Structure 1
């Protein structure tokens, strides 16, 4: 298959430099293909045309899966063509099969640098100085110019959440596209919003603890105490209370506590070491 002059052929030896390191500078689109794959041949001119049109804004690379089977296996390629976008040395999005040019263009544009990126950096600097209200105002203005930018919406909703603007954050998140709603960042922020909502609508920690001392099977108070503790930064104590409900509660209480615990896992994020540890404890409690 004839390759575009805008594409870089990648091997196992060059993958680190041409894909991982390059993706720290700009998005890298990796096309996993094979010479015998007819759909790959149909997709190739679309990718080549867009690489030419967007020259300098993303890098198109191609991996021959017959010659580079190790890379195909490592990145879970099961069908061809498979196209992945790498940013900051990791895959962040993908599609398989042949898409029309319009859909491929939309796929690429979701990951291209945008003017709002600089605004988000400035907002982050303001927030680090404690000027969260100013960060919110700045991002609201940027969102008016770029209302379809999911990353911008998530950043704004995050700062709104930090200011206890629960309803404002929820409203902002409603505009996030369905694909982005499946991302860990969206799910994690939504979980944090819901936990804070519970905490804000609950009594204080001492009152809840006192109630549980006299009525240990008051599961609603225990659930609310878990949210209050999480908001105070005591995530492990929060999860311990939910685990207690899983261990001692009847079927509905057990199921509800499990869902609350999974919500905390989402709020913390999969990279948090405590999540893997408490997942094991949850599995033990359910058995």
Structure 2
């Protein structure tokens, strides 16, 4: 159930590191073209609407293509849905307030059933995001404005740090003749690691990211790439059906639970992966408990400490540990 030309791997995007560079390049080219038009005496392009109704026919242009310049928040709703009527005005108001730092795409699930099925929507409201063509699940159900801001702020941070996407606002608000800032050259050692990951050379990618971290231990991009590459290496040769069968038959089989959590995360089921390992920590002791705890902390690294789902899982982990 994959949307057209999109990864359904959620925040654990197997090509996210490579896509980050490509997305940043596309966004920079678009900004440079707008600046060139203005400098040549032409009128800047009219700002695009920050809230759009999307259909199956317009999804590619309104969501996937626009996600190269700004995070696109996708709100799945329906006319009969009471919680949707509470949430949608909040998201619309925030889209205007954030002034181009994200775009809100509204999808009526009744009128666009194929899209809803492709995204695996089972309940509404459901809110996801697309950044550089990559799917990032956000939340389900109605949330209040403060909670929505928390999710949006984290999404914007991820878009900027991992993909170099800063939104529409800065480019549209520039003074006439103002040139776009020059693109920052990509680190060649990181580029080599990204290329190895993109080729599927997981061993080479892991070593390359470790080399980067040996020189620059604080490189968040290298830490993310290493965590992703190690995760992919663990699941590459796993029989998903056999792993899930073993995990279901014996909840105390720690290795089966670790393997199943990895598969959950690669499939974009972040909360399921975290919940599985928190439960495993709670039902085990000694070395088994420590294995599950350390593995869970490693999955936190893949997602990022600022993600609200990580904070929630840390709290749950603390409860079972103490």
- The TM-score range, normalised by the shorter chain, is 0.3 to 0.5
Q: Which has the larger radius of gyration?
A: 1
- For CA contacts below 8 A with separation 6 or more, give which structure has more relative contact order: 2
TM-score, length-scaled by structure 1: 0.46
